[in-house]
Amino acid sequence: MDRYFGVSRVGSSIKTEAIAGLTTFLAMLYIIPTASSILAVSGMPKDALITAVILATCIATLLSGLWAKVPVAMSVGMGLNAYFSFSMVKTMGLSWEEALGVVFLSGVIFLLVSLTKMRQWLIGSIPLGLRFALAGGLGAFIATIGLYSSGIITIAPSGFPALGKLNTPQVWITIFGVLLTLILCAKRIHSAFVIGIFSCCLIAWGLQIAPMPKEFFSLPASIAPIAFKMDILGVLSLSIVPTIVSLLVLDLFDSLGTLAGVGAKIGLFQNQNNQGDKVLEKTLEVDAAATVIGASLGVSTTTSFLESASGVSEGGKTGLTSVFCALFFALCLFLFPLFDSIPLFAIYPSMIVVGAMMFLEVRRIDFADLPTGLSAFFAIILMPLTYSIANGLAAGFIVYIFASLALKQYERINIGVLVLGALSVLPILVHGFLMQG
């Protein structure tokens, strides 16, 4: 074990790696109830989703440790799971089987991109400001869903958003959960989201608003109702292209941003005789393969988690940290009654706070630069307003291209921007003409 992972070589120990794996696990534990509850909105059975989320997390994180040998845990991406249920299924009208087909296809394309030089071309094609706008828009999108779903925000008879009826215990528990989680995050408590969720549960159980679990341990539920149910042929149409492109781009840059943040702490991906690039390539390969595997199991896009930084902060330096983390998640397979008893209003605080944390990426956008600032604004604001990441991404590309042309800054417009812009916009235009006809 020491020889395979090089634990001693990097100045770590098996005990340190185990503690780091446990820390990452505790920081990410919230993803099981949160992701399964969000994906259940699409119509998939929650009991099967709980098992599928745990399995996808275990497999992806284990591959990260064994293949890429990095202390990076992976699971069902926050924001992308909300996009799956609320946009692809609820707004676009796809069945959850078709939505899984879209996720599967985006994962296959991501895997091909990761195995070729297209990865470098794609990374270099998208303007830096738009990359951060994607994170900001996704954060605004998931926070908006959390606020609406919890009842804190509602649609008034006038058709405009307004404060909801703040006179129900469920809403006040959600608000309490948001404030508690924000405070814990500000204090850099690793298990902030887990503490927030279970604090809300304890209050709800104590007030008898939600039923307590009658038992805590059981065998895992079967994933047969959702495993290998993706409908690939049903989504092979031009109108689905923007969604596939959006998932591909989001997964790639979400992973790159996470890996940059985690790697900076221990110099993980620094380029030393191309070794850093090779490790990054292997990690992205795992990320892409995990999305394909996850879609097959019945969950939305799988990606690297920034919570891995908590384990790195505890001394984790090798893939053994990820292996331990995966093993801890495997134990959760037998805690089905506990996760199944968590009410939705205990989940919404984590959605709102995760969205807020993701939105903070806008601080890295150069708003003084006109094409960058304008494209970022429209990309960010249209994602929550239209419940579509694809629409926001398309708007960002359109504004960036036209603003650059207006300022005669032609060097900004490379082939990648034009290709990705066309892939994002063309199907929307075709759909508009068909609707008009």
Residue recorded with tokens 């009991």? 47
CA 127 to chain centre: 21
Confidence tier at 225 by pLDDT (50, 70, 90): very high
Confidence tier at 43 by pLDDT (50, 70, 90): very high
Average pLDDT over residues 246-262: 74
Q: Does pLDDT of 417 surpass 90? A: no
Q: What is the DSSP secondary-structure string of 28-46?
A: HTTHHHHHHHHHHTTT--H
Confidence tier at 435 by pLDDT (50, 70, 90): very low
Average pLDDT over residues 13-17: 93
Residue of higher predicted confidence among 278 and 177? 177
CB count, 10 Å around CB of 69?
Answer: 19
Averaged confidence pLDDT in the chain? 87
Q: Does pLDDT of 105 surpass 90? A: yes
Residue recorded with tokens 């032609």? 410
Residue 94 confidence (pLDDT): 92
What are the Cα distances from residue 361, in Å, to 171, 293, 328? Answer: 28, 29, 30
Residue 241 confidence (pLDDT): 79
Confidence tier at 434 by pLDDT (50, 70, 90): very low
Helix (H) or strand (E) holding 15: helix 14-28
Residue 128 confidence (pLDDT): 82
For 169, the token pair is: 């215990």
Of the ranges 155-169, 216-230, 256-270, 320-334, which one carries the lowest mean pLDDT score? 256-270
Q: Does pLDDT of 430 surpass 70? A: no
Q: Vertex 74, ends 68 and 78: CA angle to 5°?
A: 150
Average pLDDT over residues 402-418: 88
CA 354 to chain centre: 10
Q: Does pLDDT of 88 surpass 50? A: yes
For 117, the token pair is: 């030089």
To the question of pTM greater than 0.75 for the whole model, the response is yes
Residue of higher predicted confidence among 306 and 437? 306
Residue 165 confidence (pLDDT): 84
Q: Does pLDDT of 291 surpass 80? A: yes
From CA 15, how far away is CA 211, in angstroms rounded?
Answer: 39
Residue 173 confidence (pLDDT): 95
Q: Does pLDDT of 213 surpass 80? A: yes
Residue 267 confidence (pLDDT): 64
Average pLDDT over residues 62-77: 93
Residue of higher predicted confidence among 85 and 166? 85
Of the ranges 66-70, 101-105, 431-435, which one carries the lowest mean pLDDT score? 431-435
Residue 312 confidence (pLDDT): 86
Confidence tier at 121 by pLDDT (50, 70, 90): confident
pLDDT digits (tens, 9 = 90+) for 256-277: 767 766 766 566 655 555 565 6
CA dihedral 355, 361, 363, 365 (to 10 degrees): -130
Average pLDDT over residues 410-430: 75
Q: Does pLDDT of 330 surpass 80? A: yes
Of the ranges 63-77, 106-120, 224-238, 338-352, which one carries the lowest mean pLDDT score? 106-120
Q: Does pLDDT of 321 surpass 80? A: yes
